[in-house]
Amino acid sequence: MTQRIRPGVVAALALLLAAATGCTGQPPEPPGPSAPASVARGAGGHHADVPRPFTLLASGDVLPHSSVIDQAAADAGGRGYDFTPMLKGVAPVVSRADLAICHMETVYGKEGGPYTGYPSFKSPPEVATALRATGYDSCSTASNHTLDEGAEGVGRTLRALDAAGVRHAGSARSAAEAARPTILPTGAGKRAAKVAHLAYTYGTNDRPLPPGKPWTVDVIDEDKIVTEARKARRAGADVVVLSMHWGTEWQDEPDARQLELAERLTASQERGRPDIDLIIGTHAHVPQAYEKVNGTWVVYGMGDQIAGAMINYEGVQDPRGNQSSMGRFTFAPPARPGGRWTVGKAEFVPQWYDTTTGRVVNLNTALKAGAEHHRQVRDRIRDVVLGQGAEGDGLVMGE
């Protein structure tokens, strides 16, 4: 992980975003007078015996450098840390999804601190509260920083996510926890789909796995990924989503290993049904392309959703390190039981973390409000995201 430099003067205190309720982030809108009572937020209602379509949203690395921690302290007004205002600009997008997945790259420190940024991260556990308030349902927790504080750091992190109501995948406190697939409902009732969330990392910055605890973090192993995906299917998962912490830092294009793994994992199937239904990538610090591989959407890299001002390998501040996208996929049920759920609509939402104000900005929303200075950043993210020909497969830019 590269180091960061502090931004300038932090912004004035912002109003807190009210904590959201329910497993989908915000309470559903009440149905209209002609709608059946069973209609829920999301892709729409159908007959009670028909599975309901759903939208899944995924976003990039949450990487609290020291400057980000300082901003959260300022936003809390001297009463701890509040990361909710940072994410307020994307909360409407996140909370509207039936299922929202984030990537918690760092582990949490002890309550009260001390908290640190690069190179060994210890983040305030209040991050978890903000993620839930924004509307996130689950976070991948497998990264090259998962072992920055050893097994103790993993335990603190997962306890804080549990307390906040955020599910997690990729690290574990016990062999039993590691063996249980993370299966997430996309709503209430029998018509809601079940989504399995798997998460793996390329490595742990040469930190060894804790003695006697090889299950603490999932390191990329193709055979294990396929085995776990099939296990999740047997546990009732309709859709299997794979978070991958992979790739080459500061490289806009997916590297050879990403391309190879994407090809092999999306080709893997059992009884004619693919083992993986969606791959979402993190780690590279910069946005990377989306691509449909063997009929399955792959996001090679979403970029950093939250990070301090970043220094690249050339030793200069690189604004790409604060650019990212959110992927939004609308899944439709199979024509017959046991078939594959398919993505009927694929979208990306460009975003940017403003290190001066300490806020995540939905760039299309900002442009509609007249912030024309964001257009160049938005257009660059769009060009990178579409760089592998995803537009031809139907990927569109959303808001």
Q: Which domains does the chain have, with CATH numbers?
A: 51-397 (3.60.21)
**Cα torsion 160, 162, 165, 171: sign:** positive
pLDDT at 50: 79
Q: At what angle do helices 126-134 and 150-164 cross, to 10 degrees?
A: 40
Q: What is the mean pLDDT of residues 7-28?
A: 35
Residues 274-333 have pLDDT tens digits of 999 999 999 999 999 999 999 999 999 999 999 999 999 999 999 999 999 999 999 999
Read off the pLDDT of residues 190-235 as tens digits, 9 standing for 90 and up. Answer: 899 999 999 999 999 999 999 999 999 999 999 999 999 999 999 9
Could you tell me the pLDDT band of residue 4, with boundaries at 50, 70 and 90?
A: very low
Share of the chain above pLDDT 70, in %: 88
Residue 189 region by backbone torsions, left for phi larger than 0, else alpha for psi between -120 and 50, else beta: left
| Separation CA 309–CA 353 (nearest Å) | 9
How far is CA 307 from each of CA 125, 199, 353, rounded to the nearest angstrom? 16, 21, 7
Position 338 scores a pLDDT of: 85
Contact 213, 151 (CB under 8 A): yes
Residue 373 has pLDDT above 60, yes or no: yes
Nearest alpha-carbon partner for 126 in 170, 92, 80: 80
Tell whether the model's pLDDT for residue 16 goes beyond 60: no
Residue 26, pLDDT > 50, answer: no
Beta strands in 294-366 (DSSP E): 296-299, 304-306, 309-310, 323-332, 342-354, 359-362
pLDDT tier, 48 (very low <50, low <70, confident <90, very high otherwise): low
Predicted local confidence at residue 62, as pLDDT: 98
Q: Could you give the count of Cα atoms lying within 13 Å of 25 in the half-sphere of its Cβ?
A: 28
- Phi, psi (deg, nearest 5) at residue 342: -115, 150
Q: Which residue has the higher pLDDT, 337 or 44?
A: 337
43 in Cβ contact with 333 (< 8 Å):
no
What is the pLDDT confidence band of residue 181, given thresholds at 50, 70 and 90?
Answer: very high
pLDDT in tens, 69-95: 999 999 999 999 999 999 999 999 999
Mean pLDDT for the stretch of residues 95-124: 97
> pLDDT tens digits, residue range 139-164?
999 999 999 999 999 999 999 999 99
